Amino acid sequence: MAYPTDRPATWFVTGTSRGLGLDLVRQLLERGDAVTATTRSTERLLSALGEGVDTSRLLPLTVDLRDEEQVAAAVRKTTERFGGLDVVVNNAGYGYLAAVEETGDRDVRDMLDVQVVGVWNVLRAALPVLRGQRSGHIVNVSSVLGLTAVPGWALYCAGKFALEGLSEALAAEVAAFGVDVTIVEPGYFRTDFLTRDSLALPEATTDHYPAIRQMVAQHLELQGKQLGDPVKGAAAVIDRVVTGEGPLRQLLGSDSHAYATAKVQALTANLDATAATAPATDHPAAA
């Protein structure tokens, strides 16, 4: 079993100063586990946790996930402080709403640096530890928009689709080492993900995408009314890791399940429609 049963576990969690990451840290500390929490601002993290939380088993670190050396140092500090590493949660990320045409080169690179490069940096640093001890659990927080795409979310979806592919391959690569992988796919959760502090918008827009402008306004108005409860979401992720039971993908929220189901139905219809024509490009079967 990947999760330790004879001692408190050590978790390495990214993106922890708000949202699901913050609730994860709070609940893990309440369990008595050890947590390395990376963030862009340890001050904001500690302030958000408040004085009622025992932080004696917390290692808060300001880490730029795009910097491979900073990430590697954070993993080393974790093993030095707590004597090991059991669970890695790649949670850091942010939203971006714009048409493809409006999405600048810098926007693309910034998003993929966090959603893909940053995750890869964490994995390269942590996997030798987990592989060497032949146990551990990696949780990659994706989104239902890593399974399906909607207008205006192209850049965010691109990052999450990449994370999904990375995670599927990773799960098959590390299974023989006793390392489990879970892809978490939340729907809309009542965090500050849709606030202007967390949601990036393009520097310039055009008049050709009024539906996307309307969608952006609707999303900003949705803040505080989202269906998902982040406290319950964090608890579900912890339960998946602790029990070691569950499929590769953990969908969180009935909205997430509905979006994913619609994608499966659309993909099935697409496969059925091309079943007869797909073999046309094959080489003739050998006689």
Both tokens assigned to 88: 């890695």
Residues 6+ apart with CB under 8 A from 144: 185, 186, 187, 251, 253, 255, 256, 259, 260
77 as an active site residue: the answer is no
Residue with tokens 């008049």: 207
CA–CA separation, 232 and 221 (whole Å)? 23
Catalytic status, residue 225: no
Q: Is 263 a catalytic residue?
A: no
The bridge status of strand 34-39 relative to strand 58-62 is parallel
Write down the catalytic residue from 96, 160, 167, 256. 160
> Among 10, 21, 4, which residue's Cα sits nearest to residue 191?
21
Would you mind telling me the total number of residues written for the chain in this entry?
287
Active-site residue identified among 17, 142, 143, 256? 142
Q: Which of the following is catalytic: 17, 96, 156, 259?
A: 156
* End-to-end Cα distance, the chain: 50
Please say whether the beta carbons of 132 and 173 come within 8 A: no
Q: Which residues are catalytic?
A: 142, 156, 160
